[in-house]
């Protein structure tokens, strides 16, 4: 059971208990008709519209009772009390009105929550309830509220107007902020249904009970721009202050507020309600917001049923409010000022309904709370009531709702300016074209995200293309040079066909550099996959041709040096070099064809975080995008290609190192080929991982990869062809090779071996000189001892002579060979060691 239902239940029990005391007809004098009034005046929350509506109702009573043709012989009396817009207190006020004499014929009520309780219970007493200040859509339920009428239009009358404005300004994305009250909950439900029908997206729906801080923050997180706010005026001030703190105002935001707030609602009661924003801050936040409200003041200067115009009524109401202490002259209006005409016309509606009932020969004196017949007559009279009041044409629908136009206003420079009117029944929007937007443009319903494609810098692209074009020109020139001078020995020994293959690979690689810089600036998204596939084919095959030609040369050099029985004069068969290049190219073709057929490269967009534009104040964010070439199994294919290329790179590096000092006449440029392989391997091993890391930086990635390819190509051409060009230029007619041919000079290894042999020979000569000195000393001693010993001297002298003869022979050989070749010196050294042994 809801709180309203519980209140109704207890009121019904009290009714049963007190009913014996109520039977007995109409209390009071016979010429008086009594009605009850429930006015919210002194509460601290909700709508306290009784502050202005009760004086308006009193004015209406005075005017009604002065009409001689209206309720002749009767006087309409109003008995009222304050409900503070609290349903429990409102039920208590109703009970006091009903069970205190005189008996009431009808009830007036204001504030949706109080009207809900009163109208749901009043049917038990066969009482008609007329609400002058209740907009809850729930009150339109005729089954739940069978005796309810209201001069205040339902809050749902605003929703068609809001939808109409959203369509007018092109807003298709809105947010909703509501106070947790039944009137606003049911209004939001109706708004959601209408938004769904109109194709308007509700990005978020936030609600709060008393503190809107978290709800407003959530709106900011959701990037809400068009926001519908549904709350009472006390909560509205808190929301407005929080709007200022969260910066949800200005040229980028539009707020829809309820139009029945007072004109200065955002400036009053700030200290009393604990609002921490200043009046100036509240004004800044309120600027530009829209309001929708049912027309509560007659817009035409017509004389109404009371005999006065709406402006005359406004003047009388202002005087009455001034008498009650309100500072009207300084625009300090009490709450409920906008709804005051509704309360005035409500009293006239009651009088007209009573008058019509009496015309049907029904005596209101005989009405009791159990008299359903007279209650039905009053209901029928009220349902058919129609007149021109100070609030406009007063008429009721079958649900008891007021039929009214909707007025649209905008806060401009601190004042509400009328923008137009909307007739819901005719779907007619009368627009005055007086709206003023901060910044001069209609705010957008979302941050406009502009997708900007990041492309390679045009100067960088032109620079790389120029260098690549120069390289292509040089490569073609070298091909012509290679073919033109193929009869020369310096060209023949380097295998000109293999060199041409390398140059073709260089040309293909340089063309791929141009394709690497071609992006969305030059190519449409539909054609971009073709560029992706062309890049892969050209770069892979170009590398294979250029590097494969060098690899095959260094491989053949390694084969020559590792076979011990190889004939030094055996020639290199060119078909073996071409076969190796063809083999590498075949593997490339298999990988690329499989990639192309089963998982082709496609255009993939990498998105980056939103960025602010540089030179605009519009509500725009930039979403940078970068094109990449990727396939579904991109990592697998890249791993396969990099694995194959990496394997031959590492193997080529090994072969180049092994043959770094070896020269064969069959391939006369093998050392330069090895140097080229060194550079290619190093650059490739650096470029591949670094290029993957900086792939999101289009200029850096393109520049790094392009320069690496260009450097490899130029360096290879420089190392392999410049010596040949110099040789041909120096000897244009002579086929003999000069010092620019590395094989015509002594190699460094041979020079080191020769120096080593010379050093060993000098050491052996020094040792022999020492031995000869010792032999001379021994001979001298033997001569000295010869005189002392005869027989022994002869034997010793003969042995010494034989020794001298033996050891003197190699010395003479060594002396004669002092200027011999290193090979001869080595042979002498070996003979000397044998004699010593």
The token pair that represents 305 in the structure block: 């049923």
Q: Indicate the pLDDT class of residue 733, thresholds 50, 70 and 90.
A: low
Can you tell me the distance from the alpha carbon of 337 to that of 53, in angstroms, rounded to the nearest whole number? 7
- CB burial string 551-574: b at 16+ within 10 A, e below: bbbbbbbbebbeeeeeeeeeebee
pLDDT at 29: 52
Q: Is the separation of the CB atoms in 234 and 253 below 8 Å? A: no
Q: Contact 587/644 with Cβ under 8 angstroms?
A: yes
Instruction: Report DSSP state, residue 102.
Output: S
Max avg pLDDT among 51-65, 665-679, 750-764: 51-65
Which pLDDT score, from 0 to 100, does residue 826 have? Answer: 36
* 183/161 Cα distance (integer angstroms): 18
Percent of the chain with pLDDT over 90: 42
Q: Which of 44-53, 70-79, 207-216, 570-579 has the lowest mean pLDDT?
A: 570-579
Q: d(Cα 661, Cα 50) in Å, to the nearest integer? A: 108
- CB 833 within 8 Å of CB 767: no
Alpha carbon of 156 to those of 116, 184, 645: distances in Å? 16, 10, 72
> How many angstroms separate the Cα of 809 from the Cα of each of 436, 768, 771, 834?
125, 11, 13, 13
Task: Calculate mean pLDDT across residues 643-661.
Answer: 77
CB within 8 Å of 85: residues ≥ 6 apart: 40, 43, 45, 46, 47, 48, 110, 111, 113, 114
- What pTM did the predictor assign? 0.58
Out of 235-249, 480-494, 539-553, least confident range: 480-494
Rounded mean pLDDT, 122-151: 89
Q: How much is the pLDDT for 788? A: 64
pLDDT at 817: 38
Segment 397-400 long-range contacts (CB within 8 Å, at least 24 positions apart): 398/142, 399/140, 399/141, 399/142, 400/139, 400/140, 400/142, 400/145, 400/148, 400/149, 400/150
- Which residue in the block uniquely carries the two structure tokens 């407005």? 240
Q: Is the pLDDT of residue 806 over 70?
A: no
Mean pLDDT of the region 570-596: 80
Give the contacts of 76 (CB within 8 A, at least 6 positions apart): 32, 33, 35, 61, 64, 65, 347, 350, 351, 354
Q: What is the pLDDT of residue 756?
A: 80
State the pLDDT confidence band at 26, using cuts at 50, 70 and 90.
very low
- Kindly report the number of other CB atoms within 10 A of residue 6's CB atom: 13
Residues 126 and 115: beta-carbon distance below 8 Å: no
Q: How does pLDDT run across 209-220, given as a tens digit for each residue? A: 989 999 999 999
pLDDT for residue 293: 85
Confidence of residue 615 (pLDDT cuts 50, 70, 90): low
Q: Is pLDDT at 677 greater than 80 in this prediction?
A: no
Secondary structure E strands in 135-208: 148-150, 173-179, 201-208
Residue 317 — very low, low, confident or very high, per pLDDT cuts 50/70/90?
A: very high
The CA distances from residue 30 to 100, 127, 272, 604, in Å, are 17, 20, 47, 90
Assign 574 a pLDDT band (cuts: 50, 70, 90).
low
- Is the predicted pLDDT of residue 231 greater than 70, yes or no? yes
Residue identified by tokens 């290329």 is: 645
Q: Read off φ and ψ for residue 42, nearest 5 degrees.
A: -110, 20
Q: Residue 484 pLDDT more than 50? A: yes
* pLDDT at site 735: 47
> Could you give the percent of the chain with pLDDT greater than 70?
83
Taking a C-beta distance cutoff of 8 angstroms, is the pair 110, 86 a contact? no
Residues 6 or more apart whose CB falls under 8 angstroms from that of 568 comprise: none
pLDDT band at 617; cut points 50, 70, 90: low
pLDDT, position 736: 42
Residue 829 has pLDDT above 70, yes or no: no
Q: Which of 269-283, 539-553, 805-819 has the highest mean pLDDT?
A: 269-283
* 3-class secondary-structure state, position 729: helix
Q: Is the pLDDT of residue 774 over 50?
A: yes
pLDDT for 502-516, tens place per residue?
Answer: 899 999 999 999 999
For 279-314, the pLDDT digits (tens) are 999 999 999 999 998 888 887 778 999 999 999 999
pLDDT of residue 836: 41
CB 36, CB 94: distance < 8 Å: yes
- The helix (H) or strand (E) run that includes residue 407 is strand 406-412
Using CA atoms, how far residue 638 sits from 162, 182, 601, 713, in Å, is 56, 63, 11, 22
Q: CA 499 to CA 672: how far, in whole Å?
A: 12
Q: What is the mean pLDDT of residues 530-536?
A: 93
pLDDT averaged over every residue in the chain = 82
pLDDT band of residue 752 (cuts 50, 70, 90) is low
Q: Give per-residue pLDDT as tens, 59-99.
A: 999 999 999 889 888 999 999 999 999 999 999 999 999 88
At residue 618 the predicted structure's pLDDT band, cuts being 50, 70 and 90, is low
Q: Is the pLDDT of residue 129 over 90?
A: yes
Q: Which residue has the higher pLDDT, 404 or 72?
A: 72
319 has pLDDT over 70? yes
């Amino acid at each position: 059971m809801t709180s309203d239902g519980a209140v109704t239940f207890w009121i019904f029990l009290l009714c049963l208990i007190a009913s014996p005391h109520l039977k007995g007809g109409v209390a009071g004098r016979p010429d008086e008709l009594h009605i009850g009034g429930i006015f919210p005046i002194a509460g601290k929350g909700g709508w306290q519209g009784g502050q202005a509506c009760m004086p308006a109702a009193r004015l209406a009573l005075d005017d009604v009772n002065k009409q001689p043709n209206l309720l002749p012989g009767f006087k309409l009396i109003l008995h009222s009390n304050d409900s503070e817009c609290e349903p429990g207190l409102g039920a208590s006020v109703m009970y006091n009105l009903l069970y205190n004499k005189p008996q009431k014929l009808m009830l007036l009520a204001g504030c949706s929550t109080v009207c809900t309780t009163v109208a749901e219970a009043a049917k038990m007493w066969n009482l008609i309830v007329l609400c002058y200040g209740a907009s809850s859509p729930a009150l339109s339920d005729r089954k739940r509220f069978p005796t309810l009428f209201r001069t205040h239009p339902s809050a749902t009358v605003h929703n068609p107007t809001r939808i109409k404005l959203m369509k007018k300004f092109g807003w298709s994305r809105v947010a909703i902020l509501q106070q947790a009250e039944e009137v606003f909950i049911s209004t939001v439900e109706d708004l959601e249904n209408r938004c769904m029908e109109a194709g308007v997206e509700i990005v978020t729906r936030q609600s709060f009970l008393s503190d809107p801080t978290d709800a407003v923050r959530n709106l900011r997180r959701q990037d809400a721009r068009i926001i519908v706010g549904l709350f009472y005026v006390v909560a509205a001030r808190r929301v407005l202050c929080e709007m200022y703190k969260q910066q949800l105002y200005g040229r980028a935001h539009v707020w829809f507020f309820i139009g029945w707030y007072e004109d200065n609602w955002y400036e009053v009661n700030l200290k009393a309600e604990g609002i921490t924003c200043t009046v100036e801050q509240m004004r800044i936040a309120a600027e530009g917001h829209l309001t929708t409200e049912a027309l509560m003041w007659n817009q035409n200067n017509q004389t109404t049923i009371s005999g006065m115009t709406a402006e005359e009524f406004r003047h009388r109401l202002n005087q009455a409010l001034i008498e009650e202490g309100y500072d009207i002259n300084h625009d300090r209006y009490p709450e409920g000022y906008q709804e005051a005409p509704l309360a005035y016309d409500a009293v006239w509606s009651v009088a007209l309904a009573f008058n019509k009932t009496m015309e049907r020969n029904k005596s209101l004196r005989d009405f009791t709370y159990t008299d359903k017949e007279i209650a039905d007559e009053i209901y029928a009279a009220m349902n058919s009531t129609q007149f021109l009041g100070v609030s406009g044409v007063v008429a009721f629908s079958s649900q008891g709702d007021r039929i009214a136009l909707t007025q649209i206003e905008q806060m401009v420079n601190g004042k509400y300016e009328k923008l137009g009117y909307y007739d819901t029944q005719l779907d007619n929007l009368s627009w005055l074209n007086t709206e003023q937007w901060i910044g001069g443009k209609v705010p957008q319903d979302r941050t406009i995200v502009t997708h900007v494609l990041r492309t390679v810098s045009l100067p960088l692209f032109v620079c790389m293309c120029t260098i690549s074009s120069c390289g292509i020109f040089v490569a073609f020139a070298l091909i012509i040079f290679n073919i033109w001078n193929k009869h020369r020995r310096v060209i023949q020994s380097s295998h000109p066909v293999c060199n041409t293959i390398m140059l073709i690979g260089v040309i293909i690689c340089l063309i791929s550099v141009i394709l690497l810089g071609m992006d969305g600036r030059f190519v449409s998204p539909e054609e971009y996959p073709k560029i992706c596939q062309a890049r892969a084919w050209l770069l892979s095959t170009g590398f294979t041709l250029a590097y494969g030609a060098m690899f095959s040369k260094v491989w053949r050099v390694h084969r020559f040096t590792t076979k011990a029985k190889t004939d030094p004069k055996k020639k290199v068969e060119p078909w073996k070099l071409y076969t190796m290049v063809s083999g590498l190219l075949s593997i490339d073709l298999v990988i690329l064809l499989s990639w192309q057929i089963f998982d082709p490269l496609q255009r993939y967009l990498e998105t980056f975080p939103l960025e602010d534009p540089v030179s605009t104040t519009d509500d725009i964010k930039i979403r940078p995008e970068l094109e990449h070439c990727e396939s579904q199994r991109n990592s697998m294919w890249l791993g396969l290609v990099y694995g194959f290329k990496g394997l031959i790179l590492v193997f080529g590096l090994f072969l180049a190192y092994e043959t770094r000092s070896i020269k064969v006449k069959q391939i006369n440029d093998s050392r330069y080929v090895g140097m080229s392989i060194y550079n290619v391997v190093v650059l490739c091993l650096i470029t591949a991982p670094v290029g993957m890391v900086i792939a999101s930086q289009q200029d850096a990635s393109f520049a790094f990869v392009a320069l690496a390819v260009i450097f490899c190509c130029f360096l290879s051409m420089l190392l392999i062809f410049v010596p040949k060009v110099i040789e041909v230029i120096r000897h244009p007619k002579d086929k003999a090779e000069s010092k620019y041919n590395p094989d015509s000079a002594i190699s460094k290894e041979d020079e080191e071996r020769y120096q080593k042999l010379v050093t060993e020979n000098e050491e052996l000569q020094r040792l022999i000189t020492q031995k000869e000195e010792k032999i001379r000393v021994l001979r001298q001693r033997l001569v000295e001892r010869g005189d002392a010993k005869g027989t022994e001297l002869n034997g010793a002298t003969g042995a010494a002579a034989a020794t001298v003869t033996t050891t003197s022979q190699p010395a003479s050989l060594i002396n004669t060979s002092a200027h011999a070749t290193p090979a001869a010196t080595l042979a002498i050294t070996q003979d000397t060691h044998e004699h010593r042994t």
